[in-house]
Structure 1
Amino acid sequence: MAGLAASGSNPDVELLYDINGLAKAAPPWFDRVMQYVGEYGLLLAMVLLVLGCWWTVRRRGGAEAAPSVAALAWAPLAAGVAVLVNVPIRGFVERPRPFRVHQGLEVLQPGKTDFSFVSDHATITMAMAVALFVANRKFGLVGIGLALLEGFCRVYMGVHYPTDVVGGFALGTAAALLLSPVAMALLTPLTRTIERSPRAGRLITARRTPDGHDTVVPGATAGRLPGSEERDLAA
């Protein structure tokens, strides 16, 4: 399997040269931006997107807050599971990085010595994006767009073949979707328990008092509030 895509006459390698060729034509400052975005920026953006969705769900509150937060918690966990699954896949395929096989590539991120298939960056971003889509379609679509951009950046940087990226997308999607029922069955009771906590419950729903301060769960039933708060609301 180590010789996978070693020939320069197949579409995978041709597309690699076409996309990576854009880096040769681009000004140096743009390549530096793409290097940072592709290596770190989009991963950070995915994390911030998940946190932004959590903040929105928390502020909205309601009966679906706990399951929604559980689905959001699954996003980084799905990425971690997918990366762990990728460890034996890389060892089995043993595909070298494209710049070790093909000449003339513009490599924007030197020092990559591990195997190429599949791309960890593509796996992580797509796993998080798909899990996010399950929790919230609007945020999830943005996440999928970021994941696709990550895949493009990895080829642009000369560190992955296009099929490395496609394989990462497939692995991340499979991990996020196939294990989602089990994850939700385990995480939802946990988030519901946290929601009932006077202090930690703020991680699940924003709490508001009658004067608008951040202490009462929007849409919560009176039976779920402490007794003193019920008396205040009745008054």
Structure 2
Amino acid sequence: MAGLDQLDNPDVELDVLYDLNGLAERLPGWAESVLVFVGQRGIPAALVLLTAVAWVLLRRRPDAPQAVAGVFWAGLAAGIACLVNAPIRGFVARPRPVDTHPDLHVLVAGEGYSFVSDHAAAAAAVAVALFLVHRGLGAAVFGLAVLQGFIRVMLGVHYPTDVIGGFALGAAAALLLAPLAMATLTPLVALCARTRGLGWVARRPDASACPAPHAERGLAA
């Protein structure tokens, strides 16, 4: 029995953490700098850009008020996911990987506790919200979210389960609150679309039903 007790009991999560972090450790200095930039600022900036692209693509659709409301919800869902995460992180109080594993090659000094990842939660929330109104862009954002999750672990700033928990939190917040958010945002966007100053936000809800002025003159002639 003593021999059985002494057998190694591998921790899969730590194996993944060390494997991914080891990949970062073998990178040259310039590649490490690129990895840090992409994981810290590059992918979040890309998420903002894709959300703006979604608005440009959807603001002229026949269902523009609802579609644009979904785009606005993507940004709000990311913020809500981070707000919900704040008390969770304090309650779980999981130390950063480097605090318990000082032999890691840490490229970013994370602040606060580790579980769950704000970056992963925000990215997942944006992905789910955009997928509800544009599957292509939603899938693209989901791909970026997965990439960001890998990079956060490579940087040594999060455990894999921190990222998985962030994905779950962000997706749940965006999906579960979507009905209420859309019911609130869609009328607001439709109202903005009918005003002179904010008509650029989205196509007017009744625009497709109203014939163009030159068409009316042609019929009258």
TM-score by length of 1: 0.84
Deviation at 1:198, TM superposition (A): 2.4
Counterpart position of 1:211? none
Asked if 1:144 corresponds to 2:132, the answer is: no
SS in 2 for 1:220: helix
**Total equivalences in the alignment:** 209
Counterpart position of 1:170? 168
SS in 2 for 1:92: helix
For 1:100-111, what aligned pairs fall within 5 Å after superposition?
100-110=99-109
Residue identity in the other structure for 2:154: Y
Percent of pairs with identical residues: 48
Counterpart position of 1:40? 41
Distance 1:231-1:219 versus aligned 2 partners, 3 A rule = closer
Residue identity in the other structure for 1:154: R
> Gaps (5+ residues) in structure 1?
1-7, 208-216, 224-229
Rounded to whole Å, the distance in 2 between the matches of 1:35 and 1:184 is 35
Deviation at 1:9, TM superposition (A): 4.0
RMSD of aligned residue pairs (Cα, Å): 1.8
Counterpart position of 1:220? 208
SS in 1 for 2:132: helix
Note the alpha carbon deviations across 1:111-152, whole angstroms, 9 max, x for none: x23000000000111111111111100110001000001101
Rounded to whole Å, the distance in 2 between the matches of 1:55 and 1:150 is 25
SS in 2 for 1:81: helix
Contact conserved, 1:61 with 1:218, CA < 8 A, in 2? no
Rounded to whole Å, the distance in 1 between the matches of 2:116 and 2:196 is 44
Rounded to whole Å, the distance in 2 between the matches of 1:24 and 1:103 is 14
Match of 1:234 among 212, 216, 220: 216
Rounded to whole Å, the distance in 1 between the matches of 2:82 and 2:118 is 6
For 1:182-197, what aligned pairs fall within 5 Å after superposition?
182-197=180-195
Counterpart position of 2:96? 97
Residue identity in the other structure for 2:129: A
Counterpart position of 1:26? 27
TM-score by length of 2: 0.89
Rounded to whole Å, the distance in 2 between the matches of 1:113 and 1:53 is 32
Rounded to whole Å, the distance in 2 between the matches of 1:87 and 1:68 is 29
Distance 1:150-1:107 versus aligned 2 partners, 3 A rule = same
Contact conserved, 1:12 with 1:161, CA < 8 A, in 2? yes
Counterpart position of 1:87? 86
Deviation at 1:104, TM superposition (A): 1.7
Contact conserved, 1:97 with 1:116, CA < 8 A, in 2? yes
Rounded to whole Å, the distance in 2 between the matches of 1:197 and 1:122 is 37
Deviation at 1:27, TM superposition (A): 1.1
> Gaps (5+ residues) in structure 2?
1-8
Counterpart position of 1:202? 200
Rounded to whole Å, the distance in 1 between the matches of 2:144 and 2:187 is 31
SS in 2 for 1:155: helix
Rounded to whole Å, the distance in 1 between the matches of 2:105 and 2:43 is 21
Counterpart position of 2:61? 61
Deviation at 1:234, TM superposition (A): 2.5
Asked if 1:180 corresponds to 2:178, the answer is: yes
